[in-house]
Amino acid sequence: MVTGAARGMGAAVARRLAGDGWSLLLVDACAPQPPVRYPMPSPEDLSAVTADCRAAGAAWVGELVADVGDGAVRDKVAHALGGRVPSAVVTAAGVIHGAPAWGVPDDAFELLIRVNLSGVRHLADACVPAMIEAGTGRFIAVSSAAALRAMPQLAAYSAAKGAVVGYVRALAADLAGTGVTANVVCPGSTRGAMLEASAAVYGLPGQETFAAQALLRRLLSPDEVAAAITWLCGPDAAAITGAVIPVDAGLTA
């Protein structure tokens, strides 16, 4: 299962897993997220990723248009799975908003916590018990480099993403001895709509400006982050749990 699957890292993860022959349930809200103003993907975007995954060799692909920040997503996921137990859950859904720490509007702060943090929790609630019963599984949350270093005007986003790190590490502790692992990937500046929105927060001409902050002096592509995530989904990562893995071109080094 992949959330935030209609574009960006989520879509890249889905396409990579499809190429490895996985069955996939792709989840995205595909709707505006006020007060965030940058464009969100549409149901047509999600369907396009589904078509790509089928063409790439996925054994099965299902779509679920649902808001991961709404607790009702738990039942929607259970219904969409139809009794299947996910071998891996990747929570890539996220939103960003920028303002000084003391000036974040309540609705923006609540949105970032609801989607970025509660969205991870809701998927764990929906999927982890069955994974425990099966004795195997991978839970991978996408956090951010903003959880690992100070970034101006991103206090609410950093708070949510930092909480994801704490939540998933504690989840890994609760999963001790079950055969289920839980890990976090913290991407750096990755090309896409969210990074373009970040550039607007700082009044920058475009997202490419962020390349100068990383040791590699370039932005990441969503596929580069997806490579790490899909590796965590596979057998070679069986010994890793409770880890926080930066994939950030050296941004937090």
Q: List the catalytic residues.
A: 157
What DSSP assignment string belongs to 63-105? EEE--TTSTTHHHHHHHHHTT---SEEEE-------B-GGG--
Angstrom distance (rounded) from CA 134 to CA 128: 10
The burial of 134, by beta-carbon neighbours within 10 Å (0-12 exposed, 13-18 middle, 19 or more buried), is given as middle
- Where does the chain show beta strands of DSSP type E? 2-3, 23-28, 60-65, 88-91, 137-142, 180-187, 244-247
In the beta sheet, which residues pair with residue 122?
A: none
Which tokens in the block code for residue 56? 């790439």
- Where does 86-179 show beta strands of DSSP type E? 88-91, 137-142
Angstrom distance (rounded) from CA 235 to CA 59: 18
Closest CA to 114 of 163, 186, 147: 163
